[in-house]
Chains A and B, each alone.
Chain A
Amino acid sequence: MAKTWTQLEEMQPSVLKMLKNSLMKDRLAHAYMFEGMRGTGKKEVGLLLAKSLFCQNPLEGFIPCEICMNCKRINNGNHPDVHILEPDGLSIKKSQIQALQEEFSKTGVESKKKIYMIVHADRMTVNAANSLLKFLEEPSSETTAILITEQIHQILPTILSRCQTISFKPLPPQIMISQLTANGVNPSIAPMLAQLTNNLEEALELSHDDWFAQAQKIVLKLYEVLKKNPLEAMVHLQEQWFQHFKEKEQLDRGLDLLLLIFKDLLYIQLGMYEKIVYLNEKARIEQFALETSGRRLTEQMTAILEAKRKLQANMNPQLLMEQLVLQLKEGSSFV
């Protein structure tokens, strides 16, 4: 669903201010890098910019009217001069970039302007990224490039220096929480959802998900077992954890949930009670917090982050979790 200028302005005020000023001053760069977390509206803004450029009678000179033929066609994704390049399989291949270059050596179908958007620009192969360099730096006239990425640090510095980088801010958790509660999500789990995702729709989906509710319980159980008897945690892993967290994404989410427990413990120790996300279990977690120390918490959090990294590197999930459990138990072995 395409969003309008005002809707997006609420989400990303500084980004749209930037674009507005550029449009008004006629200083639109030939290449932009939109960078930000998932669900921050990068692609929507990209489409919006395309509409602003192509719109036949924009309001106030830059706001797309949403009713002219060009706006409608862009919204429906079939404007001939707006090209969107997405990963073919896991990555963007060199041949795709070459096809793009060939396409852009011709003038536009309807006007001289042309736009291309590369979604997940970080997934370009090394070859593809390097092929883009020259084309990005000195495109034929009236071409606008929009590169979109979630991981700006994996993009070649030579590409970055050719673009104007625009950072999309994540939605502040407070706003997210209030939006979630407005949508009928239980206030006690809204903070947790806001921590886990930045995308309203995804959060809403999670809130209705049985799997997710069950996952919270299992993660909390794991922590308790870890406290009581670390060796039993191994059994718990076999009996419950692996039954529930089967896929890689699921395991990742599980680790996120586990990390949030430790973050809560830390916040409690620091006296920042308003930041706690496991509201349902607040009393119990407060008790746990007394029995641990800040230093140990940071060590444990580091261990979890390390596990997350290994998960991305395709480590065997079972070994990964077992190693993690052994690491987490260290230090908490008193009594």
Chain B
Amino acid sequence: MSYQALYRVWRPQTFLDVVGQEHVTKTLQNALLQQKISHAYLFSGPRGTGKTSAAKILAKAVNCERAPVQEPCNECPACKGITDGSIPDVIEIDAASNNGVEEIRDIRDKVKYAPSAVKYKVYIVDEVHMLSIGAFNALLKTLEEPPKHVIFILATTEPHKIPLTIISRCQRFDFKRITAKAIVNRMKLIAGQTGVDYEEGSLQVIARAAEGGMRDALSLLDQAISFSRDRVTVEDALTVTGSVSQGFLNKLARAIYEKDVASGLEALEELLFQGKDPVRFIEDLIHYYRDMLLYKAAPSLEESLERVMIDEDFLQLANEMSSEIIYELIDTLNKAQQDMRWTNHPKIFLEVAIVKLCQLEKPASDQPSHDVQMLINRIEQLEDEIRQLKTNGISVGQETQNAVQNKPQRSTRRGFKAPVGRINEILKQATKPDLNVIKSSWGDMLDSLVSRQMRSQAALLNKAEPVAASSHAFIIKFKYEIHCQMAMENAKFLEAISGSLQELTGKRFEIVGVPEDQWFKIREEFLQGHHTDGKEDSTEAKEEDPIVAEAKKLFGEDLIEIKD
């Protein structure tokens, strides 16, 4: 005999083994004891919840030689015969393959003959939803008033496909999804008896992935046992089920919360590289947020959490996120999940969904109406300015003075001279993420300029691009000198740009413009200076900093040349 799958070997043989369906088994057992067995049952419920098994057990229990009993004895010839299929009076019909009127007629014809070996003739009609309409109707009369030695048990996963006239003639039992806890207990029992070594957490993972189907759980366990070396580890379980560890979900949720699209996508890439299933993953993510919501609402209800074990990261994130955001996240994910079912490229949907999630908060925070939001922004802006004035009041005063002084100077010169010192200063502190922040809101900024009736000025930026940024200043490279000059001398325009960028990014940036040809020169020099000096110099430069800074305060940076 070749190897048999766990779910076949461990098919329940008594009502006690049919776990998680006490409401069904209790009723049936009482009916058996009181000998009030109906002539037709309908078992419905999701896959792997024990419908067919319960039907077989019932068939044994009614025919058991020790009847009335509440459990089949599994020892008498009748029970044994039914188990191994040698008794012809228990007939299991695959309704999906025999779904025509012809086959039903065949049943009808044979129903009237008395059973040959046991007390009752039991017809187990599996997958009954596949019967044709004609077949259902042919069954009606027989089902309503069969001879008293006949019991029909219909089993199906899709009760809504069954005509009401059939349902009303049966006692209907709805099987529920089996709870993860019950599945784990059953698997523990099986693993213990078959001598399989396992890690505690691995069964949890499998039970969660099985989604209430015992057969799914046992299939996965089977697979995990095959996959593992000698011990079923959590890692094996994760690989086999294609689900992801909670650490990973935490990581991604954090990236989404912090609107870090790049690391979100990176995490996703890594995940797919490990061969995880995007659809399973999105479901995991939805459940993750669902649990978070639940946890926020009722922290004490730990056992109702489905996917999440409460750990530090989760707690922290749960405290930081507001319920509204979570609602929105779940909504978006749900939509993406719907779309993913119908495509060959679920990966792309997932990517788009992640990006969307990272951009989400805007509409949520926009809720206090657009006008109010604008006012809030203005106030924030003003506050920022005041803070700046407070911290380095004098220097700001001087800078503005300088600006005033510089401006006439510049315009008297022919063409535009870029503020090299300032640019170098920015370059020193420039970082890639800052630049990306600017770049990603660049398009939005242009739009907002257009909507503020500054179309002509916005056109100046058509051929311009941000090339470097530090945390509070950035450099715009203009293709033509004249554009640069026009833009830089228009204070209102600069204010509009930095204003709209502040709205978009939440930070205030100073703007420095530079024409393309000068930019290349400056950058070249900066890079050279950086390379030849190496690290030592940069530390030295830091040490010198106070003096230089003081000098800058006094004279304005444009006028200072720093020599060693």
CB-CB under 8 A from A135, the residues of chain B are 94, 97
Known: A161-B215, A162-B215. A305 touches B48 (CB 8 A): no
Known: A30-B5, A270-B262, A309-B342. A287 touches B226 (CB 8 A): no
* Any B CB within 8 A of the CB of A8: no
* Any A CB within 8 A of the CB of B275: yes
Q: How far is the CB of A278 from chain B (nearest CB, A)?
A: 16
Q: Is A298 within 8 A of B219, CB to CB?
A: no
* Any B CB within 8 A of the CB of A22: yes
CB-CB under 8 A from A97, the residues of chain B are 97
CB-CB under 8 A from B225, the residues of chain A are 25, 27
Nearest to B342 among chain A residues (CB) is A309
Q: Is B446 within 8 A of A291, CB to CB?
A: yes
Q: How far is the CB of B240 from chain A (nearest CB, A)?
A: 8
* Cross-chain pair count, CB within 8 angstroms: 184
Known: A164-B219, A164-B222, A305-B339. A272 touches B262 (CB 8 A): yes
Determine which of B127, B216, B265 lies in contact with A272 in the assembled complex, contact meaning CB atoms within 8 Å. Answer: B265
Interface size classification for chain A: 35 or more
Q: Is B99 within 8 A of A127, CB to CB?
A: yes
Q: How far is the CB of A285 from chain B (nearest CB, A)?
A: 13
Determine which of A28, A101, A137, A293 lies in contact with B447 in the assembled complex, contact meaning CB atoms within 8 Å. Answer: A293
Which residues 110-146 in A have Cβ within 8 Å of B in the complex? Answer: 126-127, 130-135, 137-138, 141-142
Q: Is B459 within 8 A of A134, CB to CB?
A: no
CB-CB under 8 A from A137, the residues of chain B are 8
CB-CB under 8 A from B179, the residues of chain A are none
Known: A28-B3, A161-B47, A298-B352. A153 touches B215 (CB 8 A): no
Taken together as a complex, chains A and B put the C-alpha atoms of A158 and B498 apart, in Å, by 59
* Any A CB within 8 A of the CB of B462: yes
Q: How far is the CB of A94 from chain B (nearest CB, A)?
A: 8
Stretch from B110-118, B381-389, B432-440, B487-495 forming part of the interface with A: B432-440
Taken together as a complex, chains A and B put the C-alpha atoms of A316 and B419 apart, in Å, by 58
Q: Is A29 within 8 A of B443, CB to CB?
A: no
Known: A27-B225, A142-B2, A298-B356. A14 touches B239 (CB 8 A): yes
Determine which of A27, A127, A138 lies in contact with B8 in the assembled complex, contact meaning CB atoms within 8 Å. Answer: A138
The total of chain B residues at the interface (CB under 8 A) is 74
Q: Is B348 within 8 A of A259, CB to CB?
A: yes
Q: Is A157 within 8 A of B341, CB to CB?
A: no
Q: Is A151 within 8 A of B344, CB to CB?
A: yes
Taken together as a complex, chains A and B put the C-alpha atoms of A30 and B7 apart, in Å, by 11
Q: How far is the CB of A32 from chain B (nearest CB, A)?
A: 9
CB-CB under 8 A from A293, the residues of chain B are 440-444, 447
Q: Is B277 within 8 A of A167, CB to CB?
A: yes
Taken together as a complex, chains A and B put the C-alpha atoms of A294 and B444 apart, in Å, by 9
Known: A259-B348, A298-B352. A290 touches B219 (CB 8 A): no
Q: Is A312 within 8 A of B465, CB to CB?
A: no
Q: Is A127 within 8 A of B450, CB to CB?
A: no
The A interface, classified by DSSP as helix, strand, loop or mixed, is: helix
CB-CB under 8 A from B436, the residues of chain A are 269-271
Q: Is B226 within 8 A of A334, CB to CB?
A: no
Which residues 155-175 in A have Cβ within 8 Å of B in the complex? Answer: 157-158, 160-170, 172
Known: A153-B341, A161-B219, A270-B262. A141 touches B443 (CB 8 A): no
* Any A CB within 8 A of the CB of B502: no
* Any A CB within 8 A of the CB of B515: no
Contact with B along A265-284 (1 / 0, CB 8 A): 01011111000000000000
Taken together as a complex, chains A and B put the C-alpha atoms of A291 and B447 apart, in Å, by 9
Nearest to B219 among chain A residues (CB) is A164
Known: A161-B215, A272-B262. A334 touches B447 (CB 8 A): yes
* Any B CB within 8 A of the CB of A106: no
Q: Is B227 within 8 A of A17, CB to CB?
A: yes
Nearest to A15 among chain B residues (CB) is B275
Taken together as a complex, chains A and B put the C-alpha atoms of A162 and B157 apart, in Å, by 14
Determine which of A22, A131, A289 lies in contact with B439 in the assembled complex, contact meaning CB atoms within 8 Å. Answer: A289
Taken together as a complex, chains A and B put the C-alpha atoms of A38 and B344 apart, in Å, by 9
Which residues 256-291 in B have Cβ within 8 Å of A in the complex? Answer: 261-262, 265, 272-275, 277, 279
Q: How far is the CB of A18 from chain B (nearest CB, A)?
A: 5
Q: Is B355 within 8 A of A266, CB to CB?
A: yes
Determine which of A18, A126, A134, A167 lies in contact with B242 in the assembled complex, contact meaning CB atoms within 8 Å. Answer: A167
Q: List 11 A-B contacts (CB under 8 A).
A: A29-B219, A29-B226, A30-B4, A31-B5, A126-B130, A127-B96, A131-B94, A137-B8, A164-B219, A269-B439, A305-B343
Give A contacts to B, CB under 8 Å: 14, 17-18, 21-22, 25-31, 37-38, 97-98, 101, 126-127, 130-135, 137-138, 141-142, 150-154, 157-158, 160-170, 172, 259, 263, 266, 268-272, 287, 289-298, 301-302, 305, 308-309, 312, 331, 334-335
6 additional A-B residue pairs with CB within 8 Å, beyond A157-B157, A164-B222 = A29-B222, A131-B97, A167-B275, A170-B272, A312-B343, A334-B450
